[in-house]
Amino acid sequence: MRALGIEGTAWSLSAGVVDENDVITIENNPYLPKEGGIHPREASQHHSENISDIISRIFDKVSSSEIDLVAFSQGPGMGPCLRVIATASRLISLKLGIPLVGVNHCLAHVEVGRWKTDAKNPVVLYVSGGNSQVIARRGNRYRVFGETLDIGIGNALDKLSRYMGLKHPGGPKLERLAEKGRDYHELPYVVKGMDLSFSGLVTAAQRLYDKGIRAEDVAFSFQETAFAMLTEVTERALAYLNLNELLLVGGVGANKRLQRMLKEMCEDRNAEFFAPPDNLMGDNGAMIAYTGLLMYKHGYETRIEDSAVRPDFRIDDVEIKWN
């Protein structure tokens, strides 16, 4: 079977086609604001203006007659953006006469990570713009064992980078700055049990920048503090759940410093570290396609009347029917 997946929960607009074995193709057309952060209305306008082109590019590579189902991000995400891709997906489903599957965006990150690594039953650290969660499967649900109490780590990185004059997406630019950092400046380290908070950390880093501290050292100090927080709660989850696999997913997971810190922690615990390829770390249509295919093969199908978007859709709302 071949599945078409459409992703557009925030600034990334992407479509991909997969079969049971591999990714066949991915097409991307992200919304990049000229200044500032992501505005939901402007991002959704970008998606609506470009969704036809991105689907046409997919069908230039894979005939529409070869597509067996269409999957879309049903949530969580920005409502206006979600509605654009949901509408397009319904149209494709009706036009081609193929099943429609609404996919939880967070679940798709986890499942594509498991698909493209050897992870079997991992603790998952999911880090993106809007989410920072420590997840593991218990029974027929993925459970959230820890998460941010305010903003996601990706949002925090973007806020700081914009304050320092860097354009969106700021995370990779901040990472390059941090690689040149020399001096660590103490910043708030906010871990509350299994949960984290990043907003105060951002404010404190902004104040360092205002004091004239080198941008490279601000970025370095911020990354070291935030990533140490993430590593701590992830290690605690591994110990509490008595698991020996860690899977890193989400756009921020492409950060090489975060990967090194987590690998070192895993080595100290004799645990295995896994991460999917970088092109499957950030939001992409292939992860939606694969998860939709997996769900369909285990009895899931979304009726048109049940396909309304769910901006607050949590991963633990989904019953898992596969191993």
Strand partners, 171: none
Give the per-residue pLDDT at 119: 97
pTM (two decimals): 0.96
**Domain locations in the chain?**
3-109+280-317, 120-275
Give the CA count within 13 Å in the CB-facing half-sphere of 9. 28
DSSP type of residue 21:
S
Q: How far is the C-alpha of 99 from the C-alpha of 69, rounded, in Å?
A: 5
Say which CATH class 120-275 falls into.
alpha beta
Which has more confidence, 168 or 299? 299
CA distances from 136 to 90, 155, 245 (A): 32, 23, 10
Please tell me the CATH code under which domain 3-109+280-317 is placed.
Answer: 3.30.420.40
- Write the pLDDT tens digit of every residue in 262-282: 999 999 999 999 999 999 999
Q: How far is the C-alpha of 130 from the C-alpha of 107, rounded, in Å?
A: 14
- Write the pLDDT tens digit of every residue in 52-108: 999 999 999 999 999 999 999 999 999 999 999 999 999 999 999 999 999 999 999
Q: Quick check: 316 pLDDT over 90?
A: yes
Please indicate whether the domains covering 3-109+280-317 and 120-275 agree at the CATH topology level.
yes
Burial 224-258 (b: 16+ CB within 10 A, else e): bbbbebbbbbbbbbbeebebebbbbbbbbbbbeeb
Give the per-residue pLDDT at 38: 85
Burial 132-141 (b: 16+ CB within 10 A, else e): bbbbbbeeee
Radius of gyration of the chain (CA): 19
Q: How far is the C-alpha of 171 from the C-alpha of 154, rounded, in Å?
A: 7
Q: How confident is the model at residue 33 (pLDDT cuts 50, 70, 90)?
A: confident
Q: Quick check: 44 pLDDT over 90?
A: yes
Q: Quick check: 122 pLDDT over 90?
A: yes
Whether the upstream peptide bond of residue 276 has omega within 30° of 0, thus cis, is no
Q: How far is the C-alpha of 87 from the C-alpha of 82, rounded, in Å?
A: 9
